[in-house]
Amino acid sequence: MNLSIFTLLISGGIALLIAATDYLHRGNLTVSGIIFVTVAIICYIFLLNIFERFIYKRIRNIYKLIRNLKLDKGLKDALGEQITDDPIRDAEREVQDWARQRVSELDKLREQAKFRKEFLANISHEFKTPLFATQGYVETLQDGLIDEDPEMAKNFLEKAARNLDRLSYLIQDLDEISKLEMGIISLTIETFDIVQLIRECIEDLEGKALQHDIQLVYKGKQHQPIPVRGDRKRIQQVLINLLENSIKYGNTGGRTSVSIFPLLEQVLVEVTDNGVGIEEKNLPRVFERFFRTDASRSREVGGSGIGLAIVKHIIEAHEQQVNVRSTKGIGTTFGFTLEQPKHG
């Protein structure tokens, strides 16, 4: 309600009460009417001044401050900006909005804190496992194993070397994903044939796939080129990571297929396996760094645990979409889009 109307109603009520009392006492309607008008005017001026000075202006300033802080403006701007004629209602609405926003921000902060703790715990474990293993092999060699059993010593050196390689890959992947997140790594956008790139990636991983008795196939016409725009080297990295992931988590005698689906202005590439699958509750987290749906098996098959996170960042750097769908025990499909070159 407008402040002037609110003040007028209160003044009228007070004046009416005094005039009615006087009329009952005197019985003179004219005098009571004059008293009513006089008291109403005096009360209106007095109360309006009180409300304006001590209540209304302060509420206006509170409202302006809340509104401008929400818009990330400074205190000076907040106190000098024009507002509406009903700051009490607006202030109530702004405070409610502000409270909801604070609750949402607190929830996000708790989520980030939880993610940070999990990330630190995971990265600590990833570093400690190969580091402690290497330390154990080296200490055993220092205790005289080289002289006592040269063959066993050679085996220990090979294991230590593999663990150091794992540390090296982990550090390289962490460095790369940090650069991707900060936008340090620039993309070299060009037009290339995605079919040819898929064939190259399958050929590069055929040996590793055979070791796990997994078949890699491209479900499309081999010699029908499909042009796309992107950073060829980075998209190759995406395909290699997805294919390696399907090999790691595929079943013996399984199959991984790569399919292409032309869309309106994009091309959808899907990598599908018939492996162990992922539980539905874990699907939103598969692109997180170091998140493992099966920690024990993941460490057996190796890898840094950052491959899918790198995939996500590369595709998003292309301003495209990456997704996953899976059924536990049936298989998993990873898909990502690429831009089609504009014709004409």
What CA dihedral angle connects 6, 11, 13 and 19, to 10 degrees?
-160
Quickly list H helices, 183-321.
194-211, 232-248, 295-301, 307-317
In a 13 Å sphere around the CA of 173, the CA atoms on its Cβ side amount to 22
Q: Give the pLDDT of residue 296.
A: 43
Q: What is the DSSP-derived secondary structure letter of residue 189?
A: -
Radius of gyration of the chain (CA): 36
Q: Which residue from 163, 131, 181 is spatially nearest to 306, judged by alpha carbons?
A: 181
Q: Which CATH architecture has domain 99-182?
A: Orthogonal Bundle (1.10)
What CA dihedral angle connects 70, 71, 75 and 78, to 10 degrees?
-100
Write out the H or E segment, with its range, that includes residue 123: helix 87-140
Q: How confident is the model over 98-137, as pLDDT tens digits?
A: 778 888 888 888 877 776 776 676 667 667 777 888 888 8
Q: Give the pLDDT of residue 87.
A: 57
Q: Give the pLDDT of residue 322.
A: 94
Letter string b/e over residues 214-241, b meaning 16 or more CB atoms within 10 A of that residue's CB = bebeeebeeeeebebbbbbebbbbbbbb
Q: Give the pLDDT of residue 270.
A: 96
CATH 3.30.565.10 occupies which residues in the chain?
Answer: 190-339
Q: Give the pLDDT of residue 298.
A: 46
Q: Give the pLDDT of residue 78.
A: 44
Q: Give the pLDDT of residue 21.
A: 72
Q: How confident is the model over 153-183, as pLDDT tens digits?
A: 888 888 888 888 878 877 877 777 777 777 7
Q: Is there a contact between 271 and 325 (Cβ–Cβ < 8 Å)?
A: no
β-strands 215-218, 255-262 pairing: parallel
Residues whose CB is less than 8 angstroms from the CB of residue 81 and which lie 6 or more positions away in sequence, other chains included: 64, 67, 68, 73
Q: Is there a contact between 324 and 279 (Cβ–Cβ < 8 Å)?
A: no
CATH superfamily ID and name for 190-339:
Histidine kinase-like ATPase, C-terminal domain (3.30.565.10)
CATH 1.10.287.130 occupies which residues in the chain?
Answer: 99-182
Q: Is there a contact between 310 and 177 (Cβ–Cβ < 8 Å)?
A: yes
Count, residues in the chain: 344
Greatest Cα pair distance, the chain, in angstroms, is 127
Chain mean position to CA 246: 25
What is the C-alpha to C-alpha distance for residues 74 and 98, in angstroms, rounded to an integer? 17
Q: Which residue from 268, 249, 274, 287 is spatially nearest to 198, judged by alpha carbons?
A: 268
Write out the H or E segment, with its range, that includes residue 229: strand 227-230
What is the C-alpha to C-alpha distance for residues 334 and 239, in angstroms, rounded to an integer? 10
Q: Give the pLDDT of residue 144.
A: 78
Q: Which residues pair with 190 in a beta bridge?
A: 230
Low pLDDT (below 70) residues in the chain: 1-9, 16-17, 19, 22-25, 27, 31, 50-92, 115, 118-119, 121-123, 125-126, 292-305, 344
Q: Give the pLDDT of residue 256.
A: 94
Which pTM does this prediction carry?
Answer: 0.60
Q: Is 322 exposed, middle or buried (0-12, 13-18, 19+ CB in 10 A)?
A: buried
